[in-house]
Structure 1
Amino acid sequence: MQISRPSAIGAGMLFTGAGIAHFAKPDFFEAIVPDWFPDAALANRASGAAELAFGIGMLHPRTRKLSALGLFALTIGVFPANVDMAVNHVEPQLVEGRFSRSVDTATGPANWIRLPLQLPLLWWLWKEYRAASAQTR
């Protein structure tokens, strides 16, 4: 019997929660999809579904290796959206109970701070992938 790593469970819970958020508040996530992407709703549903599936997959040792690799790739895949948010000063703005895309030159540092924080997240997922690989040998 393989033992679940607490850090793998934590990653699974983090991404599962994020995936749920994509469906619970889709307008927030659609508001931060870059303008150049053709379908914000599709981007939200696809990334939310991937976070849910791979996040849940992190919770079981048999699916952890594939899930960690999937989340690693997903994190790289959404990085251009994070860059877009920082460069274009994008903030989701709540208007009449719904979030919409707002481009504001007075954006705070959060969009820029998010960029280097992707590195420890990638490192964490890669570590989980390597640990799961070692368990399946």
Structure 2
Amino acid sequence: MARRTHLSAAALAALLATSGTLHLVRPRVFEGLIPAALGSPRAWVYGSGVAELACAAAVAAPTTRRVGGLATAALLVGVFPGNVKMALDSRPGARHWSRRRSVAWGRLPLQVPLVAWAWQVSRSG
């Protein structure tokens, strides 16, 4: 059971680290998710990338796993409005993957198992 818990936390940390890195390396991909009312999209994208990397580090370490899982669940809930905006702004036949309607709308229901996963990891820490 402990090995399975460790693997689950490691997989979540890897997912968060990958996503956080993408936010920092390819910020333009994510800028369209930020509502204009929030100001500079780049700052929000960088901030969310750093937050994902911090969550990844917290989830990876057994001593901070509980708080890391809870922070990850909160982060996933917090970015959900951006995913909704992406879905609403999507277009059929778009050339970029993040603008494709199937990808944009398909991401929305995935947030539920991701939040549940983060919650489960937090309870194992």
1:22 corresponds to: 23
1:37-58 Cα offsets, whole Å, 9 max, x none, are 2120111111000000110111
How do residues 1-137 of structure 1 correspond to structure 2 at under 5 angstroms? 5-89=6-90, 107-132=100-125
Aligned 8 A contact 1:12 1:54 in 2: yes
1:135 corresponds to: none
1:89-110 Cα offsets, whole Å, 9 max, x none, are 269966xxxxxx97xxxx4222
User: For structure 2, which runs of at least 5 residues remain unmatched after alignment?
Assistant: none
Matches of 1:77 and 1:5 in 2, distance apart? 25
Aligned 8 A contact 2:32 2:86 in 1: no
1:87-132 Cα offsets, whole Å, 9 max, x none, are 22269966xxxxxx97xxxx42221111111001011011011111
Structure with the higher fraction of residues in helix conformation: 2
Aligned 8 A contact 1:68 1:125 in 2: yes
Q: Which amino acid aligns with 2:112?
A: L
Query: Which has more radius of gyration?
Result: 1
Matches of 1:44 and 1:90 in 2, distance apart? 22
Q: Secondary structure of the equivalent of 2:48?
A: helix
| 21-30 vs 61-70, greater mean Cα deviation | 21-30
Q: Secondary structure of the equivalent of 1:130?
A: helix
Cα RMSD between the aligned structures? 2.4
Deviation at 1:68, TM superposition (A): 0.7
Aligned 8 A contact 1:84 1:90 in 2: no
TM-score (norm 1): 0.78
Structure with the higher fraction of residues in strand conformation: 1
* Percent of pairs with identical residues: 33
Aligned 8 A contact 2:87 2:101 in 1: no
> How many residues get paired?
121
Aligned 8 A contact 1:13 1:55 in 2: yes
